[in-house]
C-alpha cells in the first residue's frame, strides 16, 4: 500500500507540474499571444541586477517584415520610477512589454536592463527579475493559498498572508468559508475580475521582482474595488521600476512619465500635468475619458433615481 501511495503521490506531483505548465502556457499565450523560440546565446551572461533601470534605445520592431510595429522608440525608466503607456488600440503598447520580457528580439536598437543588452543575458535571469500582472489573471483549480504562493514556491503561510494583506485581499479571503484553504478557479469559487487582479498583485509581491509590468484591466470597476486595487497597486509599484499599460487614465495621474504611442511611435511624452498643458493627443484622450466617465455617472444617477 505504501508503495502504491508513493506512486500515487508521485503521480499527483507530476500531474501538478504538468497542470501548472499548461496553465502557465495558457497565461503566457493569453498575455503575450504567442511565444516564438528565443534562445540564449551560447555565451549568455548572468544578469547583474543593480537598481533595475530600463532603457529602450532607438528600438524598431515588426512582427511581419513589411509592417513596422514600433519605430525608433526611445525612453528610460529610471530605477524605482513609473512609466505609463497610453494610446489607441494597436499603437504598440503590448509589444513594448513583450520585447522587454524578451518574447521577441528587437530588429533595430537595443533594450538595456541596468546597462546590459537583454539579448546577451540569460533569459531565466531576466524573467526572474520581472513580475507581470496581466489584464486577465488565470487561477489554478486549487486553494487560494496555493494560487498566491505560486509567486514564490516555498513561501510560508505567514508570507502568503502578508502579501494578501498588502494586496488588499486578506479580509476578503477570511470571509470565504474555508479561508485560505478555499478552492478557487473554474471548478471552485469564482472570483471577480478585481479579486483576481489582487491575487496577481499578491503573487507579484511575493515574487518581489525589481521590475513590474502591469497591463491594467479594461473593465470598469466599482468605486470600492477601484480603491482597493489602487491601494494595492501603489504597494506593489513603490520603489520598483514599473511599466504600466493604462486604460483608465486616472490610474496614471501620478506616473513619473507618460508616453503616448500611436502607430508604433511615441508622439508625446511628459507628466500628466505637462501633457494636459500641451493640449495635444493626451489632452484629447483625457477629455474623451472624462466625458465617458460623466456619461456613466449620469446613467448611474438616473437608474438609481428610478
By CB under 6 A, name the binding residues for ligand ATP. Answer: 33-34, 63-64, 69, 89-95
Q: Work out the number of other CB atoms within 10 angstroms of the CB of residue 256.
A: 14
> Measured from the CB atom, is 97 or 200 closer to ligand ATP?
97
Closest to ligand ATP by CB, 95 or 225 = 95
Length, in residues, of the chain: 306
**Least distance from C-beta 106 to ligand ATP, angstroms?**
14
Query: Measured between alpha carbons, how far is 75 from 73 in angstroms, rounded to an integer?
Result: 7
By the 8 A CB rule, do 83 and 242 touch?
A: yes
Report d(CA 34, CA 289) in Å as an integer.
Answer: 31
Q: Which is nearer to ligand ATP, 90 or 179 (CB)?
A: 90
Nearest approach in angstroms of CB 38 to ligand ATP is: 14
Q: State the Cα–Cα distance between residues 71 and 67, nearest whole angstrom.
A: 10
For the chain, helix, strand, coil in percent to 5 are 45, 20, 35
Between residues 185 and 264, which has the closer beta carbon with respect to ligand ATP? 264
Q: How far is the CB of 50 from ligand ATP (least distance, A)?
A: 29
Least Å from the CB of residue 12 to ligand ATP? 36
148 vs 154: CA distance, rounded Å = 11
* 93: Cβ contacts below 8 Å, ≥ 6 apart: 85, 86, 87, 245, 261
Query: Closest Cα to residue 60, out of 16, 96, 106, 20?
Result: 106
Q: Which is nearer to ligand ATP, 91 or 131 (CB)?
A: 91
* Choice between 125 and 216, CB closer to ligand ATP: 216
Q: What is the smallest separation between the CB atom of 84 and ligand ATP, expressed in angstroms? A: 13
**Helices within 60-181 (DSSP H only):** 93-100, 123-128, 144-149, 157-166, 170-175
Least spacing, CB of residue 154 vs ligand ATP, in Å: 34
Amino acid at each position: 500500500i505504501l508503495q502504491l501511495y508513493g506512486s500515487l503521490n508521485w503521480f499527483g506531483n507530476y500531474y501538478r507540474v504538468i497542470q501548472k505548465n499548461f496553465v502557465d502556457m495558457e497565461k503566457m499565450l493569453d498575455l503575450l499571444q504567442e511565444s516564438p523560440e528565443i534562445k540564449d546565446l551560447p555565451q549568455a551572461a548572468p544578469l547583474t541586477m543593480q537598481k533595475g533601470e530600463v532603457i529602450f534605445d532607438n528600438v524598431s520592431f515588426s512582427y511581419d517584415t513589411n509592417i513596422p510595429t514600433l519605430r525608433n522608440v526611445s525612453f528610460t525608466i529610471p530605477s524605482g520610477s513609473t512609466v505609463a503607456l497610453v494610446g489607441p488600440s494597436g499603437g504598440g503598447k503590448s509589444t513594448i512589454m513583450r520585447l522587454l520580457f524578451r518574447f521577441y528580439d528587437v530588429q533595430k536598437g537595443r533594450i538595456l536592463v541596468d546597462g546590459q543588452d537583454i539579448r546577451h543575458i540569460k533569459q531565466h535571469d531576466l524573467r526572474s527579475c520581472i513580475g507581470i500582472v496581466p489584464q486577465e489573471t488565470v487561477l489554478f483549480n486549487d486553494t487560494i493559498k496555493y494560487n498566491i504562493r505560486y509567486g514564490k514556491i516555498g513561501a510560508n503561510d505567514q508570507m502568503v498572508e502578508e502579501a494578501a494583506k498588502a494586496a488588499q485581499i486578506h479580509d476578503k479571503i477570511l470571509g470565504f468559508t474555508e479561508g485560505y484553504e478555499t478552492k478557487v478557479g473554474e471548478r471552485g469559487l469564482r472570483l471577480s475580475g478585481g479579486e483576481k487582479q489582487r491575487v496577481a498583485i499578491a503573487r507579484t509581491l511575493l515574487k518581489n521582482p525589481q521590475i513590474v509590468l502591469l497591463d491594467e484591466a479594461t473593465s470598469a470597476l466599482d468605486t470600492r474595488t477601484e480603491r482597493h486595487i489602487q491601494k494595492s497597486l501603489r504597494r506593489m509599484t513603490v520603489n520598483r521600476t514599473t511599466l504600466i499599460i493604462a486604460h483608465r487614465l486616472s490610474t496614471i495621474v501620478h506616473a513619473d512619465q507618460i508616453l503616448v504611442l500611436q502607430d508604433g511611435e511615441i508622439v508625446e511624452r511628459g507628466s500628466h500635468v505637462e501633457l494636459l498643458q500641451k493640449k495635444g493627443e493626451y489632452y484629447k484622450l483625457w477629455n474623451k475619458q472624462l466625458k465617458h466617465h460623466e456619461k456613466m455617472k449620469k446613467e448611474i444617477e438616473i437608474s438609481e433615481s428610478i
